[in-house]
Structure 1
Amino acid sequence: MIHELYPHYFTNDKTTVPNKKILLEKATKIIAISESTKRDILKIYPHIPAEKIDIVYLAHTVNTGIQTKVDTPENYILFVGNRAAYKNFIFFLKAMLPVLKDRKDLYILCAGGNAFNEEETHLIQESGVRDQLIQRNFKDSELADYYKKALCFVFPSEYEGFGIPVLEAMACGCPVVLTNHSSFPEVAGDAGIYFELNNSTDLKEKIMRLLDHIEIREEYKLKGIAQADKFNWKKTTDECLKVYQTVL
């Protein structure tokens, strides 16, 4: 429900919201990918019956068993995927600039999302940490290695209906730092290291705690693997099938 909750990011999109409303009203059943998404539907469209909405969680497809060797710095924080708008990369980068300036052996590695845009490049150049920012697109077979080698994975997004990268990181034993908001607590459970939405001081403190304490990283590595094991596509497809059968 990102288009409805954050319309300022989608000012040129005139069709998604009205079309979605029509589909929500006409559907016999609605599959929501989290409790958070169901709550948002009911909040925005209170005339939709709650019993019409079933929750089916997603899973991930990252292959943790693939042995690849990607060239990475020794110490890096990982950011995966699209960086624009509500993904909140600029906020994350600004929060981390003092840390990067203080720790010249620390890097931020952005996997995917294509090259840094003009705004990002300007901020990076002005900040004096250009050499500590890396962007790389990747093959699917390489993604697990990026997660496994990272000190932590940061997902500062303002909103996600589910957030598959969170599962990917946990499955690879990579500690996850994310907002205590939207669907994230459902996905990460007690394996997530949460910061207050858009609170840069809190974000920096949570990351610093991880960087400075290997035992905490190990603790959340184990918690994450156990949490990720709760989600799988067999479970997802079985639950989807049950919804289809109730409709038939």
Structure 2
Amino acid sequence: MNIGINLLRFDPTKNIGGNYTYAFNIVQSLIQNKSNMYYLFLTDRNKEMFAFKADNIKCICLKSKKNIISKIFAENLFIEKQIKHLELEIFFSPCFLLPFRKLKIKSVVTIHDLNFRHFSQGFFKDIYKNILYRLTIRNSSAITTVSEFTKLDLCSFVPGFEGKIKVVYNGCNMTLESFDKSNHDSFERRYSIDYPYFLAISHYEHKNAELAIKAFALSKDKLSEQHQLIITGARHKLKEKLKTIAREEKVEKDIVFIDYVENEYIQSMYYGAKLFLFPSLFEGFGIPVIESMNMGCPVIASNNSSIPEVVGDAGILLDTGDVSQWSRFIIELSSNNDKMTSLREKGFLRASMFNWNESAIELMKIFKEVLDNKKKEQKIG
């Protein structure tokens, strides 16, 4: 099979979150199948983000454009031209939507969430996404979502296409077995961490790190020892907003803001945390939850969107409208080793259910199914 993979829209200068984690790992797992040839559609700016070494891949690069309109049209024309030139059979878009016009070959797209339906990203961006998502849903041969929640959200958004939507869960490649524990001391020195800490992330506003700060402030003086709260990913205006909240709650000296955690320290970040606080207001999946569980860090998370589906019974699920409840569980778990141990064990078991190689196998089944349907259509025609 000749498979084209659309990685054009990744930008190394912007927040690298769950979409990149998915794309990198799913491509890395797909190319283990040596019976296929994979053509990676990249730009001169992002090609180092997908520097795989394998005989069955070829990188097709497009020169980056700064103007967003020029960029979109250049990508559309580039994809159509390369599909014909390379004689591709399947075009897979792991994170971004399909070109405006329906492709002349079979296409599969992964839709992670419909965040823009629930939290505005700006008037024009909302309109653009609304149109493009509808076109993609109609024009694609098959759609995968990363959770049942996103599948239901998609079916509600554009009814009538349920038959071509399948759930393929995300995976996780972090494990305690692959972790060098000697790296953890270096992590704490690197980021000036002096006490036991709780962890929260805040790449975007809907991650709701504000609640983590307020719950920490309520808990701080009731804990048996001094703790810090580590917040990663917050930058620019969001970081300043969170710092203001920390000052108002009188915990600014107990919070460490880390703009960006280098790859070599991500496992250490989870490994050392006493609890992972994940009060997100919306998730299509929630990869950090699984990463935390795999590194033995118990999870307290919100009970909305896809999060209960991913966490199962392996974490504490709470309403984001009740800060006192979050504080109560932070205090209770921090002083109860038996409950912490139980959550760790459940977390390891739950996280083992999410595997990138299994995800790639399921995705390959969908590719083959789509091509088989094409052959049936040709016979009928």
Task: Please give the TM-score of this superposition, normalised by the length of structure 1.
Answer: 0.91
Aligned to 1:78: 199
Aligned to 1:109: 230
Work out which structure has the larger RCO, using CA pairs closer than 8 Å and 6 or more positions apart in sequence.
1
Aligned to 1:125: 247
* 1:26-83 Cα distance to aligned partner (Å, 9 max, x none): 112110110000011112222x32111100000123353231121133321101351x
Aligned to 1:45: 158
* 1:104-152 Cα distance to aligned partner (Å, 9 max, x none): 7121011333476221222222332111000123211211111111111
CA contact (8 A) 1:59 1:236 kept: yes
Establish whether residue 190 from structure 1 lines up as the match of residue 313 from structure 2: yes
CA contact (8 A) 2:277 2:300 kept: yes
The root-mean-square deviation of aligned C-alpha atoms, in Å, is 1.9
User: Is 195-204 or 127-136 further displaced after alignment?
Assistant: 195-204
Establish whether residue 144 from structure 1 lines up as the match of residue 272 from structure 2: no
Aligned length: 245
State the one-letter code of the partner of 1:43: S
Taking the aligned partners of 1:178 and 1:128, their CA distance within structure 2 comes to: 24
Inter-CA distance 81–87: structure 2 relative to 1 (3 Å threshold): closer
Establish whether residue 91 from structure 1 lines up as the match of residue 211 from structure 2: yes
Inter-CA distance 17–124: structure 2 relative to 1 (3 Å threshold): same
Task: Please give the TM-score of this superposition, normalised by the length of structure 2.
Answer: 0.61
Structure 1 residue 5: Cα displacement:
2.1
Taking the aligned partners of 1:19 and 1:164, their CA distance within structure 2 comes to: 25
Taking the aligned partners of 1:12 and 1:102, their CA distance within structure 2 comes to: 47
Structure 1 residue 241: Cα displacement:
0.7
CA contact (8 A) 2:211 2:320 kept: no
Taking the aligned partners of 2:327 and 2:123, their CA distance within structure 1 comes to: 31
Taking the aligned partners of 2:325 and 2:138, their CA distance within structure 1 comes to: 40
Structure 1 residue 232: Cα displacement:
0.8
Taking the aligned partners of 1:10 and 1:244, their CA distance within structure 2 comes to: 35
Q: Based on CA coordinates, which of the two structures has the bigger radius of gyration?
A: 2
Taking the aligned partners of 2:240 and 2:206, their CA distance within structure 1 comes to: 17
| 3-state DSSP of counterpart to 2:313 | helix
